[in-house]
């Protein structure tokens, strides 16, 4: 797993064109911009990379501990399902008391499903959420609630999940 994990991190930072990212930028870039995996899996990728000693975390800032320029990254690289499965497995072994267990991570997929239910396309919804997140510097879930409310959806059923998700960070 470590070799592909190294290639994955190199591809991520080379695509982004920066050598330092915040944890939030990391997760959003991997999941929403590159569309490699879900946000939950992107956070697991980040945690696994830190645990493997490939990524350093200083507060909210992440920096690769590998020489990304020396890693040979295939053209149009995407992480394999095998790597994503290994990341999930590693994260599930140490998930005692984490956000995934208390359910706060499950709200974003529910918000996306609601957007689809009211007739929005998934990609358009996520793109619109991204724009609002960047423009207003707010969390993805809050942006999703704003969009859904603007489309006439009652946000009340989602508020507890959004609140728990945002406060768990």
Instruction: Give yes or no: residues 76 and 130 share one domain.
Output: no
Instruction: Identify whether residues 57 and 129 lie together within a single domain.
Output: no
7 and 88 inside one domain: yes
Number of domains in the chain: 2
155 and 126 assigned to the same domain: yes
Candidates 79, 90, 76; CA nearest to 5 is 79
Res 160: pLDDT: 87
Split at pLDDT 50, 70, 90, the class of 133 is confident
User: Residue 27: which domain range?
Assistant: 2-94
Give me the CATH number covering residue 64. Answer: 1.10.10
Average pLDDT of the residues in 11-38: 91
Report the Cα 145 to chain-centroid distance in Å: 18
Contact between 37 and 31 (Cβ < 8 Å) = yes
Q: Return the pLDDT at 122.
A: 87
Angstrom distance (rounded) from CA 86 to CA 160: 31
**pLDDT score recorded for residue 9:** 93
3-class SS string, 58-88 = ECCEEEECCCHHHCCCCCCCCCCHHHHHHHH
> So what's the pLDDT on residue 2?
62
- pLDDT of amino acid 101: 40
For residue 92, what pLDDT is reported?
66
């Amino acid at each position: 797993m470590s070799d592909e994990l190294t290639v994955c991190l190199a591809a991520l930072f080379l695509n982004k064109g920066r050598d330092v990212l915040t944890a939030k930028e990391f997760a959003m870039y991997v999941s929403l911009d590159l569309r490699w995996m879900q946000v939950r899996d992107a956070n697991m990728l980040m945690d696994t990379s830190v645990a493997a000693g490939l990524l350093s975390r200083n507060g909210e800032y992440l920096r690769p501990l590998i020489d990304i320029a020396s890693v040979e990254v295939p053209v149009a690289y995407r992480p394999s399902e095998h790597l994503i499965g290994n990341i999930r497995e590693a994260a599930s072994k140490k998930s005692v008391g984490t956000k995934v267990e208390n359910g706060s991570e499950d709200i974003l997929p529910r918000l996306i499903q609601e957007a689809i239910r009211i007739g929005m396309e998934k990609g358009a919804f996520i793109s619109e959420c991204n724009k609002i997140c960047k423009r207003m510097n707010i969390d993805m879930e809050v942006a999703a609630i704003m969009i859904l409310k603007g489309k006439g959806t009652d946000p009340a059923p989602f508020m507890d999940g959004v609140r728990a998700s945002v406060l768990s960070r």
